[in-house]
């Protein structure tokens, strides 16, 4: 079985309007559909996407919720004054990967919003007697630990031999296995 994984990144050069547009298109939603979910006009969504208007923080949250993404994926940053952790200055891909691992391990994970602030959510993990709560900064801690672990392990297992040598070895292994 061949598994193909495609990973894309918005990069740092994309502005908020471009990120909103890309996220909306990725969600398969028109400007009019997003506008309806937010109870604004299609012209307002167009103005956001063209960077003619800047959405307020609460609007960024509404857009993110409507598109089922995290506000950080739209480039929004807000410091959680309680933990001093910048909970939105995270790589959405790594954050979501941590969520995915938790979901695979514990079967269920659900984000629960308890207020209007972007950092006022927590996560219910698992079910029944194994159910527990993680706050957003706990998941950021897991994200940071994951990144640190990956860097450490990469240093231990990376192959620094010439690429031709590695390719030859891979081709030899394929020949041996009948591919």
CA angle, corner 121, sides to 49 and 80, nearest 5? 80
Q: Which of 50-87 are b and which e, b meaning 16 or more Cβ less than 10 Å from the residue's Cβ?
A: eeeeebeeebbbbbbebbebbbbbbbbebebeeeebeb
Give the chain's radius of gyration (CA, Å).
Answer: 21
Query: 10-76 has which CATH code?
Result: 1.10.260.40
- Give the mean pLDDT of 23-42: 93
Within 8 A by CB and 6+ apart from 133, the residues are: 122, 123, 124, 125
Residue 90: the pLDDT is 47
pLDDT of res. 13: 46
**pLDDT score, position 4:** 29
CA angle 119, 121, 122 (to 5 degrees): 125
Q: What confidence tier does 76 reach under pLDDT thresholds 50, 70, 90?
A: low
Average pLDDT of span 101-130: 81
Q: Mean pLDDT throughout 151-170?
A: 87
From CA 84, how far away is CA 63, in angstroms rounded? 25
The predicted pLDDT at position 75 comes to 64
pLDDT at 92: 55
Instruction: Please give the span between the terminal C-alpha atoms of the chain, in angstroms, as a whole number.
Output: 12
pTM for the structure as a whole = 0.43
Using 50, 70 and 90 to split pLDDT, how confident is the model at 19? Answer: confident
Domain boundaries, the chain: 10-76, 78-159
Check residue 89 and report its DSSP letter.
S
**The pLDDT of residue 7:** 29
Residue 36 has pLDDT above 90, yes or no: yes
The half-sphere exposure of 137 on its side-chain side, counting CA atoms within 13 A, is 11
């Amino acid at each position: 079985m061949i598994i193909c994984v495609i990973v894309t990144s918005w990069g740092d050069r994309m502005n908020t309007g471009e990120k909103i547009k890309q996220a909306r298109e990725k969600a398969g939603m028109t400007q009019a559909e997003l506008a309806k979910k937010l109870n604004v006009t299609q012209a307002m969504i167009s103005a956001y996407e063209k960077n003619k208007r800047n959405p307020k923080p609460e609007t960024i949250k509404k857009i993110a919720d409507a598109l089922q993404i995290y506000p950080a994926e739209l480039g929004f940053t807000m410091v959680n004054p309680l933990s001093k952790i910048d909970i939105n200055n995270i790589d959405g891909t790594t954050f979501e990967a941590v969520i995915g691992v938790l979901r695979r391990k514990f079967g269920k994970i659900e984000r629960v919003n308890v207020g209007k602030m972007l950092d006022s959510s927590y996560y219910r993990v698992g079910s029944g007697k194994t159910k527990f709560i993680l706050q957003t900064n706990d998941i950021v801690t897991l994200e940071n630990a994951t990144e640190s672990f990956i860097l450490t392990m990469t240093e231990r297992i990376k192959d620094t031999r010439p690429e031709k040598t590695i390719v030859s070895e891979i081709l030899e292994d394929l020949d041996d296995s009948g591919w």
